Structure 1
Amino acid sequence: MEYLGLLLSTFYDYSVDILPYYLLATLITSLIQTYAKLSWLKNFITKRKIAPFLTASFGGFLPLCSCSMIPIAHLINSLSKSYSSVVAFLIVAPVVSPITVILTYGFFGLKAAVLRTFGTLAFAIAVAYTVDALFKKGGSIPLLADFKRENTERKTVILFKSLKYHILFTGRYILIGIVIASLIKTFVPTKAVSYIAGSPLSYPLISLVSIPIYVCSGEDVPIAKALTQVGFTYGNAFTFMLASSGICLPTIFAVKSFLPLRVVLVYTVSWFFLSTLLGFMLDVLF
């Protein structure tokens, strides 16, 4: 009964943390799809060579978490001719924003803030072009924004259909991921990682433990600061900060709803290497 209570409590906490951001992002995206003319966005995204730079930069200016970015990523994928645009956006959006960069500077200093910003951007671009070279894109799952072509329907009807589509299609994957993440947090002893803090194995192990755990963007910084106060190195905490906020199981399941499995695998593994590499670099170089 104790574990059941902890599991339900964890599920509730995750749901409260994740779903409001996801629903808000879904509403904003549906409003954009319904009322905005997206020809300007499509013109940029269809420029295959520079699109990853544009979508990565776009993601860096938005205050998004790894779940609230999903509807926007879905929109980008529907407009793009390759997977590189959406992959670049997915990597940058949850960990680079004005809020997270300022928080990182305040808690860890200028070098950590610069590494978080430009290290993530450079890595995202590299992964995006690798994905573009390895995987050619077929057709995309059409968004209900295409219903705007039906002039007989009112805008409110189009908005309702877009909201319904996002909530029922990607929302179910969010819920599945929350359940699995809750099970992991309840039954996996993550504190065991503290025994290897600072060792060469600590960075990949912290990445492995942190990736399934959802931490809201911005929340990761004070938690990482607390980790340094109980024995973790700054690099260890930096690895946790990136891995826990950059990707989580709800995100992986949701992305799988509109991207091929092979692209999702590259995206997920890339996060493991990004968080491990930048954490190690912070300790070794600075």
Structure 2
Amino acid sequence: MSATDAKSPAVSGQRVTPLDEAAAKGLTEAEAARRLAQYGPNALIEHRVSALARLAHFFWGPIPWMIEVAAVLSAVVRHWPDFVVIMVMLVLNAAVGFWQEFKADNAIELLKRRLALQARVLRDGQWQDVAASELVPGDVISIKLGGIVPADVTLLDGDYLGVDQSALTGESLPVDKKPGDEAYSCSIAKQGEMTAVVTATGMNTFFGKTAHLVQQAKSASHFQRAVLKIGNFLILITIGLVVVIGLAALFRHDPLIETVQFALILTVASIPVALPAVLSVTMAVGAKSSLA
């Protein structure tokens, strides 16, 4: 093995096996640029939804369907005041839900900006500050008290390091680390100082893989299932009652227009029109209260 090889970690895929000699000079700028092009930036990949698609989502679902059916029936019987009121409520519900999600996304963006920190990295034998997004596997970095670990690393040298990784593993107390141990991206150094070699970046970190699994999760939450059950129950009850009204009107030979008007009244009365807006506001207020 040459002297140059002995000073660089051996790269295997995205994971890097650190060597003690890695702390000597770190990577060269040219090698760091090559690895950055190979592995990509040290950042999470997000699947963003357009604002129009997100807004359209609030017009799709059991309760919006009920409101839309009521609006169609109002237009059929030409009850324009009812039609206007129903459409206003439909748009209002969508606007409130969209605004709450928009504010939540802004809060997440602000948090991500705070986490887009600088990293102290050893390159070409000199310590320098670079953007955390420019770290690559094999970089030697310094982790100090109060700093956020910018990538998955293996600790190389130092007396002591206490790391708070509760957001990732659920451990309530800081974990003591020693040379040879791993530290995960986005964990916080609570005590001590150590040098470390980056072993994984971006979506290949423990945090990135967790975020990827969350993005892929398709199962609805308990709250979402409860709301869907309420909407489905109301739809089934309303459809059943409308069918009964229709059969009774057919048996009694009632005028069609009167039957439709009665079905409209029943449909509007069966819909908790403000339920989506109330639920969105209630959840937003609850989230703010828990963070206060």
- Same structural fold, with TM-score higher than 0.5 when normalized by the shorter chain: no
TM-score of the two chains, using structure 2 as the length reference: 0.25
Which structure carries more strand by proportion? Answer: 2
TM-score of the two chains, using structure 1 as the length reference: 0.26
Which structure has the larger Rg? 2
Which structure carries more helix by proportion? Answer: 1
